[in-house]
Amino acid sequence: MPFSFLRLRRRYKDLARLRQIISVFFKYGFYQFIEQVNLARFIPFRKRILEKFPYIDRAFPERLRHAFEELGPSFIKLAQILSARPDLITKTYADEFKKLQDEVPPFRFEEVRNIIQEELGLPVEEIFREFEVRPIAAASIAQVHGAVLKSGEEVVVKIQRPRIKEIIETDIDIMRFIAELMDRYLPEAEFFNPKGIVEEFSKTVRKELNFKEEARNLNRFRRNFEGHKYIYIPRLYPEYLTEKVIVMERIYGVRIDSISEIERLGLERSHIARIGLEAYLKMIFEDGFFHGDPHPGNIFIMPDGRIGLVDFGIVGYLTPELMESLAQAFISLVKKDFDGLIEQYIDLGFVSEEVDIDSFRRDFKADLMDFLVPL
C-alpha cells in the first residue's frame, strides 16, 4: 500500500516522528528543502521566526551528516550505506558520511542484561564467566561486548538495540513519504532516485535486523575460506543465537586503517593489500558471495598477518552469468581493451536507456584512455 499523508495522520507516533525529523532538518538550515517538498506546515510559525541556526556557516554535507547523526540509528545506517556509494552521492558526501561509521552512542548495560536474559532465557552470570560492561563497539543496529564463556572461550556478544525494529520501520515509512514528495516537487531528484534508495535501504536493513541471517552468512564465509592461509572468519556459537543476540569467537587485531599499528606489528602493508584484494577477487569471481560492508571497523589485521573479517549482516550475491561478465570486464581492463570494457559495461546494465550509446562509447573511451594510459 503506497504511503500517504492520510495514512500518516492515522498513526500519531509516525506523525510525531515526522515532526521531529523536519525539526532537525530545519535546525541544521535545510528550510529551503523543507519548503520545496511542501513540509513547512509542520514547523510552527514561532519556531520559524525565533530559531537560531548555529551550523549555517558549515558546508552542506557536514550539516547533513550532523542532522543524520541527531536523528538516530535509521538515518545513521542510511548514511553508512550511502558512504559506500560515491558514484551516487558524490565523493564529498560519501567522505562526510564515513565519519558516522563508528560514532554511535552505546545503550545502557541494564538494557543489555535484560535483552540477553529475554532472548537466551538465562541471566548473564549463568552464561558467561566474564562480561565486559563497556562495549567494544556501538553501531546503529547493535553493539558488541567482550565476554568469556563458562567453558573459557573468549567471545564477542552482539546485542540488538532496544526497540530498533519498531524505530526503523517507522522511519522507513517516513523516508518513503519524503521520497515521494521529492519525486513530486523536485524534478532534479530523479537523477539519484530517492524512492529507489529508500527501497534498497529497506531491504538491506531488514536483513540486518535478523541475526540468524547473519549467522548463515558467517557460516558460509567460514566454508568458503576454510583452510585459507591469510583470511580468518570467527567461529559462531549457535547455542547462543537468536534474532537479537549472536555470540562469536573473539579475534584480536588492529583495524586495517591503523597504519602505525600495522607497522608496529612488523607487517608489510603491500602484503596486506595484496591478500585483501585476492580475498575479494575470490569472493566475486569464485564464490559469487561477498562481504557487503567492508569498512575499516569490520576488517582487522591479526598479529600473525592474517586478515580477520567480522560483521556479516550485509552481503552480496552474484549469479554465474554476472560473475562471467565481471570477469570479462576485469580481463578487458587488465589488457587495456577499452572497446571490450565498454561493451561489458553496457551489457552489465550500467547505462540507462535514455543515454545515447554512440556518444557514451566515445566519451567513456576518452575518459578510460586519459585515466589508464600514462603520458
In this structure, are residues 306 and 232 in contact, taking their beta carbons and an 8 Å threshold? yes
- What residue type is 336 in one-letter code? K
CA distance 22 to 158: 32
Other Cβ atoms less than 10 A from the Cβ of 244: the count is 22
Other Cβ atoms less than 10 A from the Cβ of 248: the count is 23
Q: How far is CA 235 from CA 222, 225, 257, in A?
A: 8, 12, 24
Cα(first)–Cα(last) distance of the chain, in Å? 56
Cell of 151: 567453558
CA distance 88 to 352: 14
Q: How many degrees, rounded to 5, is the angle at CA 354 between CA 348 and CA 355?
A: 65
Give helix 12-27 / helix 164-185 axis angle, nearest 10°: 70
DSSP 56: T
- Active site residue: 293, 311, 337, 339, which one? 293
In this structure, are residues 279 and 231 in contact, taking their beta carbons and an 8 Å threshold? yes
Other Cβ atoms less than 10 A from the Cβ of 73: the count is 19
Closest CA relative to residue 146, chosen from 235, 254, 250, 301: 250
CA distance 272 to 311: 20
**Is residue 287 flagged as an active site residue?**
no
> Which residue numbers are catalytic?
293
